[in-house]
């Protein structure tokens, strides 16, 4: 008798768009009618982690029938308001972006397992709602969930109805068993070498993945856009980052090239390199050589790329001089004459982090050395650069003044050293990493959507939550008007 295959459906959940209203009779009258989107809305993002999980499942559990259903891409222009929160006198609409849960009814009804990935706390409410929906529709279905937010608070997901919560990488061995009660699995770290060939073939709408994490891409950048990493982990101590003090691994050059060939064969044209700290690879002579060869191969294969997770650019400075060879390999691009296709780098996120107390973060160089590096990046001809600063809970007027002055200096560097567009972002601290236990005014259980970069769910030492939010808006309006105005659309703008 032929044994029935275990049916597993991995679901890419709808995302969250937050839109804030209540700007009447204020200095922010740009948003009186339109409201203000809190950040970029990730509508057409490839579910990269699910393709890796699918590949692992198929290899380790040949008796499994594995599929991916992407609710986000099939309803990328659909927004459904599912709750309204009064936040500091403003009305915040929480909207699901994507197809309704009912689009997954057949998969939920027919599957033995549903798999979900929850990396961002602000999306966790949607994940919990989807788990409850699946369990109500099919009480027999089992639900497994992993991702960064699950690793940080697995008990919340168990309470929300998940059967298995992975606090490390997905461990396929667990599915060979039949859990009789909800369990937390891990920590487990899947061999890095076995993550090089994700199941991109299971993405029915592969050609539709046209978004990066940092807004619309420049002209000449072709889709689909794929996400991958050649290294993982970061030993740095940045207290606002979930990847802090994690074990660093890098993929061998041969395996990295094999992964690129897999992406190329699938039709991927553009890469988002989401390494936690790619430039640690250049910390030694051999690693630097391999990184240069890898970047050269990416050009030869015709890829365009960006660095949305940011780079530790201090690694580009050696003995007081910029490593021009490595900078060019990272940031230079060409345009193919016939197709006008861009090959090479088109955008980078450069985490400035702070203009105050820089000594608290060992990765940061003194301002003058940093600006020397930024000058070299601007001269490399990068089409777009995204700068970012994190507001600490103890931000005061001096903090905002220092950000203003620091950013105006950087704007002058960008303006006088090429033809690069830039965005000058200011982020509120998210209560994650070392700050997860900090007192908040709005509970993560009641308002997980608030755990994002664009407004605080806490009072600061010197400003209330509302004052912090409004001080940030004033400064963005002054320093980066294009970015400020783009908030009405929910897509980052560059000027």
Rounded to whole angstroms, the Cα distance separating 277 from 312 reads 7
Q: Determine contact, residues 40/215, Cβ cutoff 8 Å.
A: yes
pLDDT at 2 over 60: no
In this predicted model, what pLDDT tens digit does every residue of 41-84 receive, in sequence order? Answer: 989 999 999 999 999 999 988 889 999 999 999 999 999 999 99
DSSP annotation string for 185-212: E------GGGGSS--GGG-TTGGG---B
* Helix or strand holding residue 36 (H, E): strand 36-37
Q: Determine contact, residues 299/347, Cβ cutoff 8 Å.
A: no
- At a CB cut-off of 8 Å and minimum separation 6, what does 5 contact? 63, 64, 65
- Segment of 117-131, 240-254, 350-364, 437-451 carrying the highest mean pLDDT: 117-131
Rounded to whole angstroms, the Cα distance separating 33 from 325 reads 49
What is the per-residue pLDDT for 26? 81
What is the per-residue pLDDT for 40? 87
- For 417, the token pair is 């050293």
pLDDT at 480 over 70: yes
Q: Determine contact, residues 254/208, Cβ cutoff 8 Å.
A: no
DSSP strand pairing (342-353 vs 333-335): antiparallel
In this predicted model, what pLDDT tens digit does every residue of 425-479 receive, in sequence order? Answer: 999 998 887 778 888 999 999 999 999 988 899 999 999 999 999 999 999 999 9
Question: Considering the chain, what percentage of its residues have pLDDT values greater than 70?
Answer: 99
In this predicted model, what pLDDT tens digit does every residue of 301-319 receive, in sequence order? Answer: 999 999 999 999 999 998 8
pLDDT at 4 over 80: no
Domain ranges of the chain: 6-185, 210-486
Q: Determine contact, residues 293/259, Cβ cutoff 8 Å.
A: no
Whether CATH 3.40.50.2300 fits 210-486 = no
Q: How many CA atoms lie within 13 A of 24 on its CB side?
A: 4
Angstrom CA distances, 49 to 33, 119, 333, 456, stand at 38, 10, 28, 28
In this predicted model, what pLDDT tens digit does every residue of 136-166 receive, in sequence order? Answer: 999 999 999 999 999 999 999 999 999 999 9
The distance of Cα 173 from the centroid of its chain, to the nearest Å, equals 28
- At a CB cut-off of 8 Å and minimum separation 6, what does 445 contact? 156
In this predicted model, what pLDDT tens digit does every residue of 273-290 receive, in sequence order? Answer: 999 999 999 989 999 999
Rounded to whole angstroms, the Cα distance separating 305 from 212 reads 10
Phi, psi of 428, deg, nearest 5: -80, 150
In this predicted model, what pLDDT tens digit does every residue of 95-119 receive, in sequence order? Answer: 999 999 999 999 999 999 999 999 9
What is the per-residue pLDDT for 1? 42
pLDDT at 359 over 90: no
The dihedral through the CA atoms of 411, 413, 419, 423 has a sign that is negative
CATH class of the domain defined by 6-185: alpha beta
Rounded to whole angstroms, the Cα distance separating 451 from 315 reads 31
């Amino acid at each position: 008798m032929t044994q029935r295959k275990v049916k597993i459906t991995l679901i890419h959940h709808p995302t969250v768009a937050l839109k804030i209203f209540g700007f009447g009779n204020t200095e922010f009258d740009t948003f009186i009618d339109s409201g203000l989107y809190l950040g970029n809305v990730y509508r057409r993002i490839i579910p990269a982690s699910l393709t890796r999980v699918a590949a692992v499942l198929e290899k380790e559990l040949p008796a499994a029938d594995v599929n991916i259903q992407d609710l986000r891409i099939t309803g990328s222009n659909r927004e459904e308001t599912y709750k309204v929160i009064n936040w500091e006198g403003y009305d915040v609409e929480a909207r699901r972006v994507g197809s309704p849960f009912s689009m997954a009814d057949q998969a939920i009804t027919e599957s033995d397992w549903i798999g979900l990935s929850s990396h961002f706390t602000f999306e966790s409410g949607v994940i919990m709602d989807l788990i409850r929906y699946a369990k109500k529709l099919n009480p027999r279905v089992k639900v497994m969930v992993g991702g960064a937010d699950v690793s940080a608070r697995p008990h919340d997901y168990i309470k929300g109805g998940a059967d298995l919560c992975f606090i490390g990488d997905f461990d396929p061995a667990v599915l060979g068993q039949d859990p009789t009660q909800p369990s937390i699995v891990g920590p487990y770290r899947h061999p890095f070498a076995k993550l090089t060939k994700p199941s991109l073939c299971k993405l029915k709408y592969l050609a539709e993945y046209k978004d990066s994490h940092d807004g619309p891409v420049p002209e000449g950048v072709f889709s689909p856009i794929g996400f991958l990493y050649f290294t993982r982990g970061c030993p740095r101590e940045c207290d606002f980052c979930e990847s802090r003090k994690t074990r660093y691994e890098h993929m061998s050059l041969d395996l990295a090239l094999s992964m690129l060939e897999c992406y190329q064969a699938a039709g991927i044209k553009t890469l988002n390199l989401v390494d936690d700290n790619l430039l640690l690879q250049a910390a030694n002579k051999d690693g630097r050589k391999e990184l240069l060869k890898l970047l050269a191969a990416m050009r030869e294969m015709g890829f365009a790329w960006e660095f949305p997770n940011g780079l530790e650019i201090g690694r580009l400075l050696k003995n007081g001089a910029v490593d021009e060879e490595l900078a060019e390999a990272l940031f230079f691009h060409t345009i193919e004459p016939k197709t006008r296709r861009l090959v090479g780098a088109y955008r980078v996120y450069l985490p400035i982090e702070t203009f105050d107390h820089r000594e608290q973060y060992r990765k940061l160089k003194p301002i003058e050395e940093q600006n020397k590096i930024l000058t070299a990046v601007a001269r490399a001809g990068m089409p777009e650069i995204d700068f970012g600063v994190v507001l600490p809970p103890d931000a005061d007027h001096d903090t905002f003044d220092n950000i203003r002055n620091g950013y105006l200096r950087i704007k002058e560097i960008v303006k006088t050293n090429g033809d690069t567009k830039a965005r000058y972002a200011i982020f509120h601290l998210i209560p994650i990493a070392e700050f997860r236990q900090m007192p908040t005014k709005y509970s993560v259980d009641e308002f997980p959507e608030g755990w994002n970069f664009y407004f605080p769910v806490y009072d600061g030492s010197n400003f209330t939550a509302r004052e912090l939010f409004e001080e940030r808006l004033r400064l963005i309006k002054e320093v980066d008007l294009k970015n400020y105005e783009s908030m009405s659309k929910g897509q980052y703008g560059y000027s």
